[in-house]
Structures are given as structure tokens and as C-alpha cells.
């Protein structure tokens, strides 16, 4: 199998019920990039990357497309099933930009699954279950509204609640944490995700004030070093999300005793190939983690779900998808849908998604 054409599409994703409110940013509208690989045997495969704006991480939509333009010409004629060679080729022409490389990596996994007639999860060692748990992000709001949202989602069937915190007083964060914790039943897990917003002082104050509440602190502060300085000073496990920028950092964070778990994003670390390695390192070190992504449509959701389905339940914190905030699906029949806080793996090979390409208009870039 050889890549004979690469198309890149730009697709707007306005946020339903905007804004998606986090500690440091409100999200109103996102810009997704879709990669389409055409192969000499007729196989068509897809990948997607959708940064969460341009301030969540050092990523942005135009950067993704510029990086793809840098790499695409070198990939024509290559075998997409030789995924290690594809990643080596991308690294040989462009340093970094893992969030852009991820779209190519995912498309190559999609192509490989389609060639062999199996789902990506089956290529990753097999699904441990056909129905995968998600988690719900309770956005920045009053303690009362946060508790009401958490209670509603718990009733829907979500096994885990992620409460967005930060960007307000320590007292307000403590009140929201306590209000949400008060409505959660035993067995429904809780994370307080500051999305980098807290100072070390705020993180310590909030954690110590809430030390009776079983939860994890997700990405409390902005930098790896700030979060590392919290070890021994906070009363809760620390999960790194935005700071877990690649496999090497995940290994270091475990080895240095900084991370007790992770919020992992497929695109941030470079795609399914890298997330598979993170999965296995976290399994060996017994560090629970999510398998999500920043944002995106069915292609991003399916990539996260295909990997999430292979994580041992004892080490899995769920797969978040943007579906509730995205209008419509790329694949009307097998698009990834939340159902009572869980998702079903699609039956088809590769990602299991057959997108309606007409939704994306003409490609903004193409190579053949």
C-alpha cells in the first residue's frame, strides 16, 4: 500500500451552548484540521487534529496546517501501514509539532485497520470492553449550579466528574468543590481540573482545605516545575494533563514521583502510536490516566475511543469527547455518541468512521 494523495481540510466547530468555560479560557469556536490519505489500492483514511484555541497549549489551527504543509510532500509514496517509518519521516523534516503529526499518525492507523479489516483497538492488543466509560466536565459556575450539573450527570450514568476550577478566588473554588463532592455517590470519582490556573499557593490552600474530600488535582499549575513543587505539600494525588507533553515527560513525571496519574490527549503526544506507549508505561507504573483529546469531531473522538477501549479498567479514567458541544456528526450512522456517560465502539475497520466529506468543503491543501 502506498500513499498517492494527501488532502487537508479546514472545518469550523462552533461550540454549542458556548462558552466552554475553564479556569483560564472561555471557548466559543474552534478550528479543526482533517487529513485525508488516498492510497494506491483505493483505501481512503482519515485523521483530525483540533487545538483547544491558541492558548490552551502551544498549539494552534494555522500551525497544524503549516506543519502538515511542511511534511506532506515527503510522505507521498510511503506505506501508511509502516507507521514507525511514517513517524520517522515526519521527524526527519520537522521537529516537534506533535499535534499536527498526530493527524497523520491516526490516518495511518485508520488505513492499516482498513487494509486488514480490523478496528484500531484490535491492532493495539484488543479491546478490554466494547462499551467505554466517559467523564463529564462541570464547567466554571456557581457552587449550586456546579452541584446540580454534577448530580444530573451522575444520574445519567457518568462514572467520573471533572470539576473545572481556577480563575477565581480560592474560597470560590473550595465552595464549588465541596458542593459537588456533597452530591456524588460513593464510586463516582472526582477530579478538580485547574487547567494550569492555580499558583502553587492556591493549589496548596485548596487541597489542604479540602483534604477530607476524595479527589485528584488535575494540572493544578501551569508549569511542570510548579506542579512538581506541590509534591508533599498537597493532600491529593496530582494528575498532569497539559504538562504531559510527550512520552519522555510522562516517563520523567512518573520516575520523579510528580504524577500520580494523567489526563492524556492523543494529539498532544503525537497520535495513537505515542499514546499506546504512554498506555503501556502507565500500566507498568500503575498510573491511572484518561484517553481524550483537546477537541474535534468524530475522527478525534474515534481515535480516543479506540485507544481508550484497550486500557485496563483498573488504570482507566475515561475518554472525554466534545460531542455535546459539537453540532452534528461527520458519520451520521457510526459517529461517536455519549449514551449515559458511556460510548460504544463503532463496528467498522480502522477508526470505524465513514465521514461525509461534503461537510468539509474543498480541501485547503492537497498533494499527489
Q: b or e along 252-281 (b: 16 or more beta carbons within 10 Å of the residue's beta carbon)?
A: ebbeeebbbbbbbbbbbbbbbbbbbbbbeb
Question: Phi and psi at residue 362, in whole multiples of 5°?
Answer: -80, 150
Measured from the Cβ of residue 212, the count of other Cβ atoms closer than 10 Å reads 8
Any idea which residue has 460504544 for its cell?
Answer: 344
- Asked if 140 and 23 count as a contact pair (C-beta separation under 8 A), the reply is yes
- Asked if 334 and 346 count as a contact pair (C-beta separation under 8 A), the reply is yes
- Asked if 191 and 159 count as a contact pair (C-beta separation under 8 A), the reply is no
137 binds ligand 0XW (CB under 6 A): yes
Compare residues 2 and 16 and give the one whose CB is closer to ligand 0XW: 16
Compare residues 166 and 349 and give the one whose CB is closer to ligand 0XW: 166
294 binds ligand 0XW (CB under 6 A): yes
Compare residues 39 and 307 and give the one whose CB is closer to Mg ion: 307
Spatial separation of the C-alpha atoms in residues 242 and 102, rounded to whole Å: 16
Q: List, as one string, the DSSP characters of 305-353.
A: HHHHTTS-GGGB-----SGGGSSS-SSTTT----BTTEEEPPSSSBT--
320 binds ligand 0XW (CB under 6 A): yes
Of the candidates 101, 114, 164, 196, the residue annotated as catalytic is: 164
Compare residues 52 and 100 and give the one whose CB is closer to ligand 0XW: 52
Compare residues 43 and 57 and give the one whose CB is closer to Mg ion: 57
Given the rule CB under 5 A, which residues bind Mg ion? Answer: 193, 218, 241, 263
Residue 164 annotated among the catalytic residues of the structure: yes
Compare residues 23 and 352 and give the one whose CB is closer to ligand 0XW: 23
Residue in 173, 241, 317, 331 binding ligand 0XW, rule: CB under 6 A? 241
The least CB distance from residue 242 to ligand 0XW, in Å, is: 7
Residue from 57, 58, 92, 75 nearest 5 by CA: 75
Contacts with ligand 0XW, 192-231, as mask; x by CB under 6 A:
-x-x------------------------------------
Rg of the Cα atoms in the chain: 20
Which region, judged by CB under 6 A, interacts with ligand 0XW, from 43-51, 112-120, 222-230, 288-296? 288-296
Count, residues near ligand 0XW per rule CB under 6 A: 11
295 binds ligand 0XW (CB under 6 A): yes
Residue 2 annotated among the catalytic residues of the structure: no
Upper half-sphere CA count for residue 14 (Cβ side, 13 Å): 3
Which region, judged by CB under 6 A, interacts with ligand 0XW, from 29-37, 149-157, 276-284, 287-295? 287-295
52 binds ligand 0XW (CB under 6 A): yes
The least CB distance from residue 197 to ligand 0XW, in Å, is: 11
Spatial separation of the C-alpha atoms in residues 205 and 213, rounded to whole Å: 14
The least CB distance from residue 194 to ligand 0XW, in Å, is: 9
* 3-class SS of residue 217: strand
Any idea which residue has 485547574 for its cell?
Answer: 194
The least CB distance from residue 191 to Mg ion, in Å, is: 8
Interface with ligand 0XW (CB under 6 A): 52, 137, 162, 193, 195, 241, 263, 292, 294-295, 320
Which residues are catalytically annotated? 164, 265
Amino acid at each position: 500500500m502506498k500513499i498517492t494523495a494527501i488532502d487537508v481540510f479546514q472545518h469550523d466547530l462552533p461550540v454549542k451552548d458556548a462558552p466552554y468555560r475553564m479556569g483560564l479560557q472561555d471557548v466559543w469556536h474552534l478550528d479543526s484540521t482533517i487529513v485525508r490519505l488516498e492510497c494506491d489500492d483505493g483505501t481512503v483514511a482519515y485523521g483530525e487534529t483540533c487545538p483547544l484555541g491558541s492558548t490552551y497549549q502551544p498549539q494552534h489551527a494555522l500551525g497544524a496546517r503549516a506543519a502538515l504543509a511542511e511534511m506532506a510532500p515527503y510522505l507521498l509514496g510511503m506505506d501508511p501501514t509502516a507507521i514507525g517509518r511514517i513517524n520517522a519521516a515526519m521527524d526527519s523534516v520537522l521537529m516537534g509539532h506533535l499535534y499536527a503529526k498526530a493527524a497523520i499518525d491516526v490516518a495511518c492507523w485508520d488505513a492499516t485497520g482498513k487494509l486488514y479489516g480490523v478496528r484500531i483497538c484490535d491492532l493495539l492488543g484488543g479491546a478490554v470492553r466494547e462499551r467505554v466509560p466517559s467523564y463529564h466536565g462541570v464547567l466554571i459556575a456557581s457552587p449550586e449550579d456546579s452541584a446540580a450539573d454534577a448530580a444530573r450527570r451522575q444520574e445519567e450514568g457518568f462514572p467520573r466528574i471533572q470539576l473545572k476550577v481556577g480563575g477565581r478566588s480560592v474560597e470560590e473554588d473550595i465552595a464549588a468543590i465541596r458542593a459537588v463532592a456533597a452530591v456524588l455517590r460513593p464510586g463516582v470519582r472526582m477530579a478538580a481540573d485547574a487547567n494550569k490556573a492555580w499558583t502553587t499557593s492556591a493549589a496548596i490552600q485548596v487541597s489542604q482545605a479540602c483534604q477530607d474530600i476524595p479527589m485528584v488535582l488535575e494540572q493544578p499549575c501551569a508549569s511542570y516545575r510548579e506542579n512538581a513543587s506541590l509534591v508533599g505539600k498537597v493532600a491529593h494525588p496530582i494528575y498532569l494533563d497539559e504538562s504531559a507533553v510527550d512520552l519522555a515527560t510522562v516517563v520523567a513525571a512518573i520516575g520523579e514521583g510528580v504524577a500520580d496519574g494523567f489526563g492524556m490527549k492523543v494529539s498532544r503526544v503525537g497520535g495513537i502510536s505515542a499514546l499506546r506507549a504512554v498506555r503501556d508505561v502507565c500500566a507498568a507504573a500503575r498510573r491511572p490516566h484518561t484517553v481524550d483529546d483537546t477537541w474535534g469531531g468524530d475522527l478525534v473522538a474515534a481515535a480516543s475511543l479506540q485507544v481508550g477501549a484497550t486500557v485496563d479498567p483498573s488504570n482507566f479514567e475515561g475518554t472525554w469527547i466534545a460531542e455535546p458541544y459539537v453540532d452534528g456528526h461527520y458519520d451520521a450512522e457510526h459517529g461517536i455518541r455519549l449514551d449515559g456517560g458511556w460510548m460504544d465502539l463503532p463496528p467498522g475497520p480502522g477508526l470505524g468512521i465513514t465521514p461525509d466529506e461534503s461537510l468539509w468543503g474543498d480541501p485547503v491543501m492537497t498533494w499527489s
